[in-house]
Amino acid sequence: MRPGSVVVDLAADSGGNVQGSRPGEDVQVGEVTVWGGRNVPSEMPSHASALYARNVANLLLHMTVDGAVRLDFADEIIAGCCVTHAGEVRHAPTRAALQTALEVGG
């Protein structure tokens, strides 16, 4: 591996998949760092929640003008995430699926 590379061993806690890895430690093997994760699955939910919260906050900020929500359906982001508005199904794939369901069922 190239000098400065980092190898992530997600299984270090249970014996590891990378020679030399130790749970919870960074180990230098030559010029490569081996990171041995400790209980990695327990750390993931908080990161996923923070990422989701940041995405929702940024979407709301994107929709906000002078402190008020303004839905600009010409904006690709807003149009793409809006399913319905004012009684109309605006999301084309959802509209098509509903139409198909009505034709099949009705």
Per-residue pLDDT at 41: 78
Strand 32-36 to 6-9 pairing: parallel
Per-residue pLDDT at 106: 62
Q: What is the mean pLDDT of residues 2-10?
A: 94
H or E element in which residue 15 lies: none
Q: Please list the helix, strand and coil fractions of the chain in percent, rounded to the nearest 5, in that order.
A: 45, 20, 35
pLDDT digits (tens, 9 = 90+) for 44-81: 788 889 999 999 999 999 999 999 999 999 999 999 99
pLDDT digits (tens, 9 = 90+) for 21-50: 999 999 999 999 999 989 887 877 888 899
Per-residue pLDDT at 43: 77
Q: What is the DSSP letter of 26?
A: E
Largest Cα–Cα distance of the chain, in whole Å?
Answer: 69
Report domain extents, the chain.
6-38, 71-106
